[in-house]
Structure 1
Amino acid sequence: MIVTLPHSTTQEISSELAKLHAERGEVSQGRVMTLLISAGEDELNSVLVDAIYASHEHPSRIIAVVNDGKEVPSFDELPITAVGTVAPLDAELRLGSDGGAGEVIVLRPAGGLQRHLDTLVIPLLIPDAPVVAWWSSNVPDSPANTLLGSMARSRITDAQKNDDPIEKFLQLRKHHTRQDTDLAWTRLTIWRGLLAAMIDEPPHAAIKSITVTGNDHHLSVDLLASWLAWAMKVPVRIEIDNSMRGVAGVHFFREDGEASIERRGDEDINIYLTKPGQPEQKVSVPHRTLGDCMTEELRRLEPDEIYNTVLTQGWDLVDHSHWDK
């Protein structure tokens, strides 16, 4: 069910939502969080598909604010005085199969309302429930210093989907806070689990160096190398393989020979594990979807201390100069 509310107000939106819940015999108390999304009009529907997918594990009130393709203003860019005239606010309410395990509120603020998103959003938040903010693209350099970000206890970005993901990620790292995370890191969860298991298996031959292979403009490759450099305390270098869209493999050079984990083709759903003197193992590891990554992130609303440490300590242990080529 989709209900459109042209030229509306937050009070009218709240009243209509309460009426629809009453008609359907639903209550909003079962929502575990409010998920704030900043998205462009052209990506809105695909982003909501992933948010709704995640809501089946985390019933949420999803509030999607459609932006105009510009970064949401930070506090120091806001005008001193309020906007003199009231700009129109178009809204949609999506419930049932269109709203997942909660409901979706789509806000399309125009004109000066873009500079007062907190005033629009705060009356629509679920009382006493945590707030998570997600920028699917068009990521601000400093999420914590935006109106949406200031309301959230957890902030999720996806720098890889920006026009210049590398420059955007460097800006995010510069302004990073403990409550921020990026989906380039989330995409590595399975890789990190497989690598940790492989390292823990005997024999525990000393690792002398590590090579991470993958696409030269994919942030996950550099984050994985940085994590390994920090965790293993050995030299780690990045080798380019642009036949892959992300991480292609990790090679451990040990005292007893080379051990590796590889995905041998971009469309291959399998990852191959090799160790000296042992038969090759094949593990089915399909590429993670955006919905999978969002579902994982919404399980953890506390700061990711490993990610914070990788950014502050591990990043500078690896040569990232391939980005300059």
Structure 2
Amino acid sequence: MIVITAPTGNIGHQVLDKVLAGDQPVRVIVRDPAKLSTDVRDRVEVIQGSHGDPRVVIRAFDGADAVFWLLPTDRRAASADEAYVGFTRPAAEAMRAHGVKRVVDVSALGRDTPYAGRAGHVTASLAMDDLIADTGVAFRALAAPTFMDNVLRQVRVIKEQGMYFDVISPDLRLPTVATRDIATVAARLLLDATWTGRDEVPVLGPEDLSGNDMAAVISEVLGTPVKYQQMPGHALRDRLIGSGASEGMTQAMLDMATAKENGLDKGIARTPQHAIDTPTTFRQWCEDTLKPAVQAA
């Protein structure tokens, strides 16, 4: 039995679709089963509720061989530690109680860099990994950089203003990965019952790009000029607080950005295998995903 959390989210639904292509029984934890397609509901066992609820995970992990663990976004949590470690603690206890064999989660790059202990969301994510691994399960953390898919949050700004914003320096080249590639790696691990031990699996994507590089690619794909604009940290803070994020989660986001600026995502050298595992280029992602989204906006 494979258990999928967050099966209606951006990454989770892609993992679910790929796992359903295999021949193993699948159980999902979902707050609102109506968000699952009828076809999917007919092929999975549904546990309704939050995977942060002890009563839900103790039911969901009964008889589970493998679990895909993915956190929901809780911008109102008091701190990143509460959002990651606090949310995951009941699940870790349920994993131990039921003897879950294997767990795959989506985490972050940076563990072996000097910035890992002061990187906000990343620091909390690494602590979450440790909590899960300490249960004794075989564990793989998919250590990811920034998602290409995050650009979709700015579709209307790109279309209406010809701008793309972030707090990272415009010429700093960093890895970026498509969530569809993360889902492919996750599904392969979930369907493979042979691996053991604990490890990180860097999902780096095939290239490093700066904000200016990405804006140039977006411009070429859309056929209209798009400019990258670095925004100051205080502007990001105001935007996050204004949209309902807590002070703690806002500071965690700023700390993560500072750590990325200083080299958090540069601790792993890309190898040919990384490009094989996560092959989607930013240009291809823009053609397949961003361009249709902008046209539909």
- Give the TM-score taking structure 1 as reference length: 0.27
Structure number with higher helix proportion: 2
Structure number with higher strand proportion: 1
Larger radius of gyration: 1
Q: Which has the higher contact order (CA 8 A, sep 6+)?
A: 2
- Give the TM-score taking structure 2 as reference length: 0.28
